[in-house]
Amino acid sequence: MVHLNNFWFVVVGIFWIGFFVLEGFDFGVGMLHSFVGRDDVEQRIVVNSIGPLWDGNEVWLVVAGAAIFAAFPSWYATMFSTFYLALLAVLVALIGRGISFEYRRKIDNPRWQSAWRWSMSVGSLLIPLLLGTALGDLLHGLPIDSAHNYTGNFVGLLVPFGLYTGITLTVLCLFLGAAYLTLKTEGALHDRVSRLSGRLGWLSALITFGWLTWIHVGLGVGFVPHPIEAVALVAVVAGAWLAESHSEGWAFAAAAVAIGTVVASIFFELFPRVMVSSTNAAYDLTVANSASPSYTLKVLTVVAVIFFPVVLAYQGWSLYVFRKRIVGPKSTGDATLAGPDVSPTAPPQATTPSAGE
């Protein structure tokens, strides 16, 4: 039973890592598309780079929540009631961001298109910021009583460490999104994103170093970093250097490792707790006192062993199929601009349109 508890804590952590790695570059692209795209064509190219992928990547968040609900119902009850308003804001951001893919091109009106463009940008910003803040709060600790009920208010969720964790993950998403765009674009747009990628890499390295320092100095978990935290810092520094060196594929890989290991560090430092009580350490939720019965965990394990490799295979296949760079029209006067997508002369993989874009 103890081994299954620990196993499912690791599985939950893997789902959160998968979400921030795979959806992280989507968030980064969504935040950047209004700024790196100088005109409507470039913005459409940027959005189309994630068009076939974003909705599948988003499922990892649903699976992470479902895994907590099934394997650790007490953790789910306390966490979702504690972050109720914050999660409602995340839901609104997810909805606004999702329908922006569909609705932006429905009406040929500058105000309409601008509203949905900013809906995508703001939604892509709020989701990692709020979810990152919540993950930071889990580690920092919140006022939880002996019945595992949160005794604070919404403002009490905005603890400095939690907010800094949200900022750290948001900036890493920006870096990952910029690194991804260097692999998907060409010409002036590519050059512009490439320069931005290096700058975001060094900003990410600075913020990540501050975050790791805060964990060990501010939270008092010990001065020496764990190996996974060292990997996070090395990866983000390497990613910044590789981005400036125009090693685009390796820069993207390093950025993905960086954001994945930052999320992994949260769960590593949290274990064997799942939520820390700042009221009394005896009130902490742990993998032992919040887990489902043994039979439930056994059934969940069988399901995970069967279907998780299928999900990974599908995710890898999707990334492979849509791996090509997106090629825009040759000139802004090209008749293809009237269409919903980029130039039809591009390779088939490169021109797969996003939903409604």
Reported confidence tier of residue 2, pLDDT bands at 50, 70, 90: low
Residue 142: DSSP 8-state:
B
pLDDT of 240 higher than 50: yes
pLDDT value for 102: 84
pLDDT of 301 higher than 90: yes
Q: Are 329 and 339 in contact (CB under 8 A)?
A: no
Q: How far apart are CA 255 and CA 272, in angstroms?
A: 28
pLDDT of 238 higher than 50: yes
For 306-336, how does the pLDDT look when each residue is reduced to its tens digit (9 = 90+)?
999 998 998 889 888 888 888 766 544 443 3
230-254 burial: b if 16+ Cβ within 10 Å, else e: ebbbebbbbbbbbbbeebbeebbbb
pLDDT value for 217: 86
pLDDT value for 274: 95
Q: Is 132 helix (H, G, I), strand (E, B) or coil?
A: helix
Reported confidence tier of residue 340, pLDDT bands at 50, 70, 90: very low
pLDDT of 338 higher than 80: no
pLDDT of 109 higher than 90: no
Q: How far apart are CA 248 and CA 182, in angstroms?
A: 6
pLDDT of 357 higher than 60: no
- Tokens for 77? 């009850």
Q: Is 225 helix (H, G, I), strand (E, B) or coil?
A: coil
Q: Is 277 helix (H, G, I), strand (E, B) or coil?
A: strand
For 133-179, how does the pLDDT look when each residue is reduced to its tens digit (9 = 90+)?
999 999 999 999 999 999 988 888 999 999 999 999 999 999 999 99
Q: How far apart are CA 213 and CA 233, in angstroms?
A: 11
Reported confidence tier of residue 3, pLDDT bands at 50, 70, 90: confident
Percent of all residues in the chain with a pLDDT value above 70, rounded to a whole number: 91
Q: Is 285 helix (H, G, I), strand (E, B) or coil?
A: strand
Find the mean pLDDT for residues 69-83: 94
pLDDT value for 282: 93
pLDDT value for 330: 59
Q: Which residues pair with 142 in a beta bridge?
A: 277
Q: How far apart are CA 153 and CA 149, in angstroms?
A: 12
Average pLDDT score, the chain: 88
Q: How far apart are CA 66 and CA 229, in angstroms?
A: 27
Q: Are 13 and 167 in contact (CB under 8 A)?
A: no
Find the mean pLDDT for residues 60-87: 94
pTM of the model: 0.88
